Amino acid sequence: MKLYKNTRAGSRYLRWTRARAWAYFVKGVARELGIAPSFFYKRYQRVVFRELKRRWLKRDGEKSCFDFNGMRLPDISADPEKLYGLAFVFNDVFLFPCFYGDNYDKALVDAIDRHDMMEGPYGYVDGAFDVTVKAGDVVIDAGAWIGDFSAYAAGKGAVVHAFEPVEETFRLLRETRDLNAGQIFPVQKGLGSVEGEVDIAINEENSGANSIARGARGERLERVSITTLDRFVEENRLPRVDFIKADIEGAEREMLKGSVNVLKTFAPRLAICTYHLPDDPGVLERLILEANPAYTVKHLRHKLLAMVVK
């Protein structure tokens, strides 16, 4: 029953083609029955790639790029792992601006969030509670990856400081900056609770899932620099911070510990992932309220959204 409901939700809310919906359903049946699940997973993956490229991969002169209604990302179609990551990123970042007119109304977001099909959007509107990017905002993109959310925020007229510590991914982030109008400032650092260096575990089988070193199979280590948001804001004399998006593979709590002055002084709107560690929802909310008790916090299945309602 859940498989059927998810398939319908994908078609209705995520705007899947019939081919993708059917491939998803068959993949689920094969998994449940134990009938060549890897074969049907790869078949579903091929359908996802074909749909993604057909809809959004555009040629611009001699080069091609993914163009999500003016929000552009580099052509990563030759890298299956990054391409599959982009399919998930699309749901979180580009689904609402591309198919719903950038509408994050409570009723729509809650309806989509009920289904276990995506991590959830970085926006939510319920009356005066309006956690969305505005024109003129100063935005912190923590865990920028190749710049998907940065491209979105810059397209809204925001100034974006995009933090991505991993060398290869940072190169693609700079390409995203060059592809988009607006102001995206890539920063090759991670955000944490202290300034220094740490080993990041690069997951070779899932290029979007990097984390503080664990030494698991399929991972290589890369030494990267980290700083705190409080220090970055002070050193760069930012006049304010209006919005923080964070998806940093379990380091969200450390980022918040290093952002106490920013939360207290500027009270930026927050859109933070809460699915990496089991106690993320409670721990992240507590850290936010300790820094600034005036925040109102809303939890989706995998996201925390917060702001100071005036």
Tell me whether residue 75 is in a domain.
yes
Asked whether residue 180 falls in the same domain as residue 266, the answer is yes
Asked whether residue 286 falls in the same domain as residue 149, the answer is yes
Tell me whether residue 290 is in a domain.
yes
Asked whether residue 6 falls in the same domain as residue 87, the answer is no
Asked whether residue 186 falls in the same domain as residue 245, the answer is yes
Tell me whether residue 228 is in a domain.
no
Tell me whether residue 206 is in a domain.
no
Final residue of a domain: which of 40, 55, 70?
Answer: 55
Taking the CB of residue 12, how many other CB atoms lie within 10 A of it? 13
What CATH number does residue 301 fall under?
3.40.50.150
pLDDT for the residue numbered 40: 92
pLDDT, averaged per 10 consecutive residues of the chain (310 residues), comes to: 88 93 93 91 95 92 91 95 92 96 97 85 97 98 98 98 96 97 95 92 59 51 93 97 96 97 98 96 98 98 96
Asked whether residue 72 falls in the same domain as residue 47, the answer is no
Asked whether residue 80 falls in the same domain as residue 157, the answer is yes
Asked whether residue 130 falls in the same domain as residue 84, the answer is yes
Q: Would you say 163 and 142 are in contact if contact means Cβ atoms under 8 Å apart? A: yes
Tell me whether residue 44 is in a domain.
yes
Asked whether residue 69 falls in the same domain as residue 51, the answer is no
Q: How many Cα atoms within 13 Å fall on the side-chain side of residue 147?
A: 36
**DSSP letters of 215-277?**
--TTEEEEEEEEE-HHHHHHHTT-S---EEEE--TT-HHHHHHTTHHHHHHH--EEEEE--SS
Q: Would you say 115 and 5 are in contact if contact means Cβ atoms under 8 Å apart? A: yes
Tell me whether residue 112 is in a domain.
yes
pTM exceeds 0.95? no
Asked whether residue 78 falls in the same domain as residue 45, the answer is no
Asked whether residue 41 falls in the same domain as residue 81, the answer is no
Number of H helices and number of E strands within the chain?
12, 16
**DSSP letters of 69-80?**
TTEEEE--TT-H
Vertex 169: Cα angle to 165 and 172 (nearest 5): 125
Tell me whether residue 242 is in a domain.
yes
Tell me whether residue 210 is in a domain.
no
Give CA–CA dist 281/272, Å, rounded: 10
Residue at token pair 């390409």? 175
Asked whether residue 65 falls in the same domain as residue 33, the answer is no
Final residue of a domain: which of 55, 76, 96?
Answer: 55
Domain limits for position 70? 61-192+234-307
Vertex 53: Cα angle to 52 and 56 (nearest 5): 80
pLDDT for the residue numbered 216: 43
Asked whether residue 49 falls in the same domain as residue 93, the answer is no
Final residue of a domain: which of 9, 27, 55?
Answer: 55
The count of structural domains within the chain is: 2
Give CA–CA dist 30/27, Å, rounded: 5
Tokens of 206: 């899932």
pLDDT for the residue numbered 276: 94
